[in-house]
Structure 1
Amino acid sequence: MATLSLQGQETASQHTKIPPPRHGDDLGSAQTTEDEYVYIADGYPMIRRIIFIMAVCSSMFTNQSGLSNSITTLELIGESFGVTDPGKLSWAIAGYGLTLGTFVLIGGRLGDEFGNKAIFVLGMGWLALTSMMAGVSVYSSYPVYVLARVLQGLGPALTVPNALAIMGKCFSQGPRNMAFAWFAATAPIGAMAGFVFGALFAMTWWPWIYWSQALGVSFLFALSIVAIPNTPVEGERKQRRTIRETLDRIDLLGGASGVTALVLFNFAWNQSLVTTWDEPYVYVCLILSFLFLAAFFYIELRLARYPILPVAVLTSDIAFVFGCTAAGWSTFGIWLFYAIRICLNIGGQTPIQVAAWLSPILVTGIATALVVGKLINKVPASSIMLFAMVCYFLTSLLMALRPAHSTYWTYFFFATIIATFAMDSSLPAATIIFANAVPRQYQGMGSSVVMTVVVYSISLGLGFAGTIELQINNGGRTEADLLRGYRGTLWFSVGLTAFGAILALIFLLKDHRRRKLAEKRGREGG
C-alpha cells in the first residue's frame, strides 16, 4: 500500500571508501578489499540478497498486517469484553496508529545514533512481546487490550525507518531502487495477510490473531539478527561521546516535547468519542498539546544543536506536501474503517468476505508500487501528487455514494482499485518533494518525516471522523442511524480529499511556473 522512495538520501559519509564492518555474515559473501564493499549488500550472492531483502521488508509487512488484522474483527473482540461503544472500539486502531506515527521520526534518529540494525531488531522483539500481550489480554480487560495495541505500534515505529536506512546504506543506487520497490510491494501483501488471517483466527478464538502474530514476528526477530548486517559506521560516531553529547545528538528535549504534544492532541480527539467534550480533562489535554507544540518549535529553533526536525528549513513546498499527505492518508483511514463497518454491520458481510473484497490490493498494490518506482524519476513529483489526490477523492466519493446493499462489482471494487493508485503514488511524490525542498544534510530524514505524517494522520482522522459520527447518528440505536453516522464520516473524507486535491493543483501550478522561470533563465544565461 505504501511506496517509500529515498531518492537523494545518501549522505557524504556513505560515499566515502570505508571497509565493511564485521557483521557475522553466516549466509555467504566473502570480503576482500577495502574498497570493494562500500555498499555491503552489492556483493551478496543472489540467495543471500533475497534473504536480506526479505528480512528488511518484513518491517513493512508486519506494520500493515498489524493494522489490518484488527479492523474486521473489532466488534467480535469488543463483544468478548462486553464493549460495543464505537468510540471505545476505535481506540484499538487509533491507538496503534498513535504510537506508530508519534515515534517514527524518533525511531529513525535512534537508529542513526545507536545502529540501525540494533534498533530494527529491538523493534521486532518489542512487537513480538506486545503481540503476545494483546492475546493474553483476553484474560484481563478491554483497557489492557487497548494498551497492548498502543504498545504494539512502537514496534513498527522502530523497524520501518531503520529498514529504509539499512537498505539505503547497504545498496548502491541501482539495486537500492529495486529494493525500495519490493519494500513498498510488501505493504499490500502484509495488509491482505492481516485481513485474511485476522478473519480466520477470529472464527476460532480471536486471541490467536495476536499469538500467531507473535510467533511469526519472533521468527523474523531471529532472521533479522542473522540476515541483516551492521550498517557502516561514520568516522564521527567512532569517537567516544559523553552522555551529554549523546543526549544532544538525539535531541531529547525536542523529542520529548514533540511526542507529548502529538500524544495529547490525538488522545483528546479520540478520547472525546468515549467521554465527549463535557469532561474537563479532554479539553485540558487539547490545550496542553498546543503548549507542548509551542515548546517543541522553540526548542527546535533556538536550543537544539541537532534538531530532530529542522523547523528552520521548512518551506512552503513542504507545507503543501504535509497538507496533501495528511488529507489523503487521513481519508484512507476513514474510508477503510467505515466502509468495512458498513459491510459488517449493515451489509451483512462476514470478516472473511470483506477480506476477499479487498483482495485486489494484492495485485494492484504490488504492480503500482513497481510501476511508480520506474516512473518516479521521469514524471514531475508535483504531477504525481495531483494524480494521487484525485484518486483519493474518487475513492472517497465512491465509498460515500455506495448503497449499503450494493453488489461488490460496482462501487467497492473500483474504489479499492483506485485507492491503491493513490497510496502508492502519493508517498514517493511526497518524499521527493521533501528532499528537493531542504538542504542535503536533511534529506535523509525525508521518508521518516513523511511516514510520521502518514500514520499520525490515519489515527487523527479516525478521531475527527468518530466525533462526526457520534454527533449525527442519534446514538446509533437503529440501522438507519448507524448508516447515517457512517455516511457522515465518508462525506467528511470527500471534503478532506477535495481540499487536498486543491492544494496539489496549486502546488503543481507553482512548480510549473518555477520550471518555466528556470528554463527562461537557462536560455538567457546560455
Structure 2
Amino acid sequence: MTLSTEGNSNAEHGEPLDLETAQPSKKDYVYPADGYSMPRRILFIATVCMSMYINQLGLCNTLTTLKIIGDSFGISSPGQLSWLMAGYSLTIGTFILLGGRLGDEYGNKKMFVLGMSWLSLWSLVAGLSVYSNHVLFVFARVFQGLGPALTLPNALAIFGKSFSEGPRNMAFAWFAAAAPFGAVTGLVFGALFAMAWWPWIFWSQAVGVAFVAVFAVWTIPDMSVQEEQIRPLREKLDCLDLPGGAAGVMALVLFNFSWNQAVVVTWREPYVYVCLILSFLFGALFFYIEIYRASHPILPVAAFTSDIMFVFACTAAGWATFGIWLFYVVRIALDIGGQTPIQLAAWFTPILITGVCSALIVGKTITKIPASYIMVVGQVAYLVTSIIMVFRPPDSSYWTYFFFGTIIATIGMDTSLPAAIMIFTNVVPRQYQGMGASIVMTIVNYSISLGLGFAGTIETNINHGGHTQADLLHGYRGALWFSVGLTGLGTVLSLIFVLKDHRKEKSNENRAVEDMPEKHQS
C-alpha cells in the first residue's frame, strides 16, 4: 500500500489544518497503517521495531564478551576495549542526522532496507576479522554503526507517516519496548556463542539482519517522499545540506574521538587535544551554516524551543548515565565479582518485564500527563540506580543491589526515550519525521559513546594503572560516581522544567480569568 499525497487534505479527514506546520505543498499524507488488520499491523510494527531491537543487540552482544574478544587479539587495555563499544555508538550518533535527512529526501523504506543490508555486511566482516587483527574488528564495529544510523530515524519516520497520533504513540512505545528485548538477546547469545567461538556472535547477527531486510521489503508500505524531490540535481543536493552535514559530522567525530582516544594514549599526545580544538571549530562552522546559510538546514535550530532543549538535555544526561552504568557494572561483575557472561545475561532478564511495562505505560499516558513529569520520573530512576550501583559491594548477593538497580534503570530508559520521541515528532511536520526522529536518536547514541569517553578518562587517571583488583575497583567506582553527578544534573534540569511548565500553566489560567470580565462587558 502506497502513501498518497494527492487529494487528501486535513479538512477532508475531519482534522483542522495546522497552518504552522503546513508545507509549501498544500497536499498532505494519509495514514495507511490505521486501516491494517490486526495481524498485518503486528507484522508491520514488529518489523519496524527490529531496528531498535537489533541496535541494542549489537551494543550488548559485545558487552560481556569484550575480554574474550580482546584476548583473541592480544589486547587488554581498558581504553582499547572500550572502543569496541564506543565506536559502534559513535558512528550511530554521528551519522543518524544524515540518515534521517536521506530518508526524508529519498524514501524512508529504502533507507531502512539499505541500513539493514549494510549492517548485515559489516557484521559478517566483524566475524571474519578473527583471521586478521583488532584494527579490522574496530573498523567493522564502526561501520556496523552506519546501519542503525539509517534504520533508527527512518523506522520512527515510518511510524510517523503510517499512523495517526493515538496509534502512533503506541507504536513509539513498542519501539522503546524493543530495546530491553534486544539487550537481553545480545547478552544471552553473545555469551553462548562466545563459549563456542566468538565470531559466531557476528555471523549469526549477519544472517538474522539479512532476513529482516528481505522481510521489510514486504511488510513496510512504500513511503512517499517530498514532492519537491522532482527537481534538478543541484536543488536536491542543496536540500541535503551537504556542507552543514559535513561540518556537523566532523565536529561530532573529532570531539568524541578525542575523549575516547585519550583513554588509550592520555592527553599527553598532542593530536588528541588538537582534535578537540578542531571539533569546536567545526562545531562553530556547523551552527553558522545551519543558522545563516543553509536553505534546508539539517538541524532545525529555529524549532528548538526552551521546552525541547530541556527535554534533550535530560535525555542526554540520562542516556550517558545509562551507558556508563551498563559498561562499568558489567566490568565490576566480570573482573572483580567473578561472574560469568552467561550468569550476567540471566541477571539482566528482569528488564524484559519492567522495560516493556514502562514503555507501554508512557504510550498510554503521554497525552494525559505532562511530559515534564515523565522526564522527572526517568531522571530520578537513573539517579537512584547510579547511587545503588556505586555503593554495591562486588561480592554482594544478586537480590540486593543488582536486582533493584537493574529494574530501576530500565524504568529510566523506557520512560525518557518514548517521551522525547513523542514530544519532538509531534511538533515536526510529517514530511520531516525522519529529521525529527534522527535528532532524538542522535542525542541518545552520541551521549552513550561520549559518556563512556568521559568516564574512561576518569577511570584511567585514578586507578593507578589498574594492577590490582582494589585499583580496578577504585577506577570503576570513580566512573560510576561521575554518572551519579551527571544524572544529578539531569534531575535538577528536569525539576526546573516542571517548575517552568507549572508557571506557564498558571500564567495561562490567570490570563483566562482576566479576560472573562472583558468578555462579559462586551
Alpha-carbon spacing, 1:13–1:64, altered in 2? closer, same or farther (3 Å): farther
Query: Aligned pair in 2 of structure 1 residues 463, 231: CA closer, same or farther (>3 Å)?
Result: same
2:69 is matched with which residue? Answer: 77
AA aligned opposite 1:155: G
Residue 490 of structure 1: aligned partner: 480
Deviation at 1:49, TM superposition (A): 2.3
Secondary structure of 2:388's aligned partner: helix
Structure 2 residue identity aligned to 1:488? G
Residue 512 (1) aligns with residue 502 (2): yes
Q: Quote the offset at 1:435 in angstroms.
A: 5.9
Q: Deviations over 1:49-102 (max 9, x none)?
A: 222222111111111100010100000100000000000000010000001011
**2:520 corresponds to which residue?**
none
Picking from 265, 284, 288, the partner of 1:294 is 284
- Work out the CA distance in 2 between the residues paired with 1:86 and 1:181: 35
Distance 2:126 2:467 in 1: 30
Looking at structure 1, the residues matched to 6 and 376 of structure 2 have their Cα atoms a distance apart, in angstroms, of 35
Choose the corresponding residue for 2:298, options 301, 308, 311.
308
Structure 2 CA distance for partners of 1:263 and 1:189, relative to 1, 3 Å:
same
Deviation digits for residues 396-443 of structure 1 (CA, Å, limit 9, x no counterpart):
000101001100000111011111111111123334554688899877
Q: Any idea what SS the aligned residue of 1:410 has? A: helix
Aligned-partner SS, 2:55 = helix
Counterpart in the other structure of 1:213 = 205
Structure 2 CA distance for aligned equivalents of residues 524 and 13 of structure 1:
45
Deviation at 1:523, TM superposition (A): 2.0
TM-score by length of 2: 0.91
Per-residue CA shift, 1:100-146, capped at 9, x if unaligned? Answer: 01111211110000001100000000000000010000011101101
* TM-score w.r.t. length of structure 1: 0.91
| Counterpart mapping for 1:376-525 below 5 A | 376-434=366-424, 445-525=435-515
One-letter amino acid of the structure 1 residue matched with residue 264 of structure 2: V
Contact 2:316 2:443 in 1 (8 A): yes
Separation in 2 of the partners of 1:76 and 1:53?
A: 35
- 8 A contact 1:14–1:169 mirrored in 2: no
Query: Equivalent residue for 2:163?
Result: 171
Change in CA separation of 1:180 and 1:314 when aligned onto 2, cut-off 3 Å? closer
Deviation at 1:46, TM superposition (A): 2.8
Moved more, 181-190 or 436-445: 436-445
For 1:387 and 1:279, the matched residues in 2 are separated by: 42
- Cα distance in 1 for residues equivalent to 2:136 and 2:172: 36
Q: Which amino acid aligns with 1:186?
A: A
* 2:172/2:422 contact within 8 Å kept: no
Measured after TM superposition, the shift of residue 172 of structure 1 is 2.6
Q: Distance in 2 between matches of 1:390 and 1:98?
A: 26
Q: Cα deviation per residue 1:176-227 (whole Å; 9 max; x = unaligned)?
A: 3332222222111111110100000000000000000001001111101122
CA offsets, 1:366-425, max 9 Å, x none?
111111111111111111111111111000000101001100000111011111111111
1:364 maps to: 354
Structure 1: runs of 5+ lacking an equivalent: 1-9, 19-34
Deviation at 1:318, TM superposition (A): 3.1
Question: Retained in 2: the 8 A contact 1:315–1:437?
Answer: no
Measure how far apart 1:444 and its partner are: 6.6
Query: Whole-Å Cα distance in 2 between the matches of residues 80 and 113 of structure 1?
Result: 43
In the aligned structure 2, how far is the partner of 1:310 from the partner of 1:435?
Answer: 13
More divergent stretch after superposition (45-54 vs 356-365) = 45-54
The alpha-carbon deviation at position 236 of structure 1 amounts to: 3.1
Check if 1:159 corresponds to 2:151.
yes
Match of 1:91 in 2: 83
Residue in 1 that maps onto 2:9: 16
> Does the C-alpha gap of structure 1 residues 111 and 272 become closer, same or farther in structure 2, counting only changes over 3 Å?
same
Q: Which residue of 2 aligns with 1:43?
A: 35
Cα distance in structure 1, aligned partners of 2:155 and 2:231: 25
SS in 1 for 2:67: helix
What stretches of structure 2 of length at least 5 have no aligned partner?
12-26, 517-522
- Is 1:184 the counterpart of 2:176? The answer is yes
Q: Give the match for residue 21 of structure 2.
A: none
Question: Structure 1 103/152 Cα, relative in aligned 2: closer, same or farther at 3 Å?
Answer: same
Contact 1:388–1:422 (CA<8 Å) still a contact in 2? yes
Distance 1:439 1:514, change over 3 A: farther
Q: Which amino acid aligns with 1:165?
A: A
Over the aligned positions, Cα root-mean-square deviation in angstroms equals: 2.2
Tell me, yes or no, if the aligned pair for 2:112 and 2:155 is still in contact at 8 Å. yes
1:11 touches 1:444 (CA, 8 Å); kept in 2?
A: no
Corresponding residue for residue 275 of structure 1: 265
- The 1:355/1:201 distance shift into structure 2, 3 A limit, reads same
Where do 1:219-234 residues align within 5 Å? 219-234=211-226
